[in-house]
Structure 1
Amino acid sequence: MNTLLKSQLWRGLLLAICLPGVAMAASIQALNYSSREVDYIAVENPGNTNSGGGGDSIRPYGQGGSICCFTVPEKWHADLKVVVVYQLSPDPTFHRETVSVPQYPDGKAGDIWLIVYEDGSVGAVVSLYGPSRPEWPGKIKGYPVPTKEYRDERRKQKLKREKASLLTVERGLLLRGNSLPDEKVKEIQEIIEFQKKVIQSLEGNP
């Protein structure tokens, strides 16, 4: 197939998906309201694995980027469904969940948002408005916010790493300090004092 024909077919496809009353190309967004790492999340039309779009990865309580594109109906209808394809770390299994898309806010199509909830379930909404807006049709309002339990666990892990790093530096200075130039010893001592302050801050921030 020559370049001109490919270009004509591509323009025809774009016109087809953007015709009023038929369908439109939507960017794909993703939200993770869970404490698990999302290694992969994408969307497909039911029964058509070749219609997929997305493929983002998201940190716990995070938001993915904007990925082009997925075709959504310009007008919402009651039996509108999509398939959310996802993988949650550390499980290597890919899951496919067919979910209903709730009514478009204000009756207008927008981006398609793929959502992972704390219990591991998934959902999808189509919306011109983001999660912080009152029109947002998702069952959780607002962007993901880490829980206190998650923040505490992250703090404990960081504290453990900082203490291990401090111990390594102190042992190195004890073993090799006499053979190092005074400037190098002073530099290492400053690093030790800084790490001690970091540890004190983490211990005092429950």
Structure 2
Amino acid sequence: MTRAAWLIVISGLALQGCTPPKPVRLGTPIEGYSHTSAAINRFSVNRGGGPNISPYSGGGKQNCCASLPVKWHPGLTVVVEWEKDPDPYASANWPPLGTDGYRAAYKLHAAKYTRHRAVVPVAQYEDLGIVNVHFLPCNQVAVSAGTTYPGRPDYPFHFPQKMQEPATCPES
């Protein structure tokens, strides 16, 4: 190799030390909690799918995966998309399963599902863990992604399991 070629190689290697490394991201499991009377039929975090959630319940079921940085940084957000069934127990009054009447009732019911999308800040975490998504009244969402979990004193959120929708919601 010529001297000029060596200088180019050495200069290139030296410049690599000046370039900040790309943040390391990992796929982490997704878990959800509905704090309302609505069911969450499906949801996703950064396009990674979460489990369906019954009213006033959650936890215990995980789906894979949301891609998040190993280390939290200020301004970290995720995109949460979800479908909500505001009347999840309506089928108790429908005609028998498998009948035309049931299919018609389901079609009318499913037309009342609502779909939502929110860009949500992620609570600060030291170590990346399970992504916990909390569905709150007024289509609000809170997200954590650390190694702690609901019920522990060091968990960033302390929402009651059952929260009522107010008569009117603030405009977003």
Counterparts of 1:20-35 in structure 2, within 5 Å, are: 22-35=24-37
User: Is residue 40–residue 86 contact of structure 1 (8 Å, CA) maintained in 2?
Assistant: yes
1:57 maps to which residue? 52
User: Is residue 85–residue 114 contact of structure 2 (8 Å, CA) maintained in 1?
Assistant: no
Structure having greater relative contact order (Cα 8 Å, sep ≥ 6): 2
2:116 maps to which residue? 95
Q: TM-score, normalised by structure 1?
A: 0.52
What are structure 2's unaligned runs of at least 5 residues? 1-22, 87-111, 165-172
Measure the CA separation in 1 of the matches of 2:153 and 2:28.
21
User: Is residue 50–residue 62 contact of structure 2 (8 Å, CA) maintained in 1?
Assistant: no
Residues 146 and 102 of structure 1, relative CA distance in 2, 3 Å threshold: closer
Moved beyond 6 Å, runs of 4+: none
User: Is residue 29–residue 130 contact of structure 2 (8 Å, CA) maintained in 1?
Assistant: yes
2:73 maps to which residue? 77
CA shift, 1:120, in A, is 2.5
Residues 55 and 112 of structure 1, relative CA distance in 2, 3 Å threshold: closer
What are structure 1's unaligned runs of at least 5 residues? 1-20, 45-51, 150-206
Measure the CA separation in 1 of the matches of 2:52 and 2:141.
14
Counterparts of 1:111-122 in structure 2, within 5 Å, are: 111-122=130-141
- Coordinate RMSD, CA, aligned: 2.2
Q: TM-score, normalised by structure 2?
A: 0.61
Q: Percent identity?
A: 31
CA shift, 1:34, in A, is 1.0
CA shift, 1:92, in A, is 2.4
Q: How many residues align?
A: 117
Measure the CA separation in 2 of the matches of 1:42 and 1:25.
13
Measure the CA separation in 1 of the matches of 2:161 and 2:134.
14
Measure the CA separation in 2 of the matches of 1:41 and 1:62.
15
Cα deviation, 1:140-173, whole Å, max 9, x if unaligned, reads: 25xx5346x8xxxxxxxxxxxxxxxxxxxxxxxx
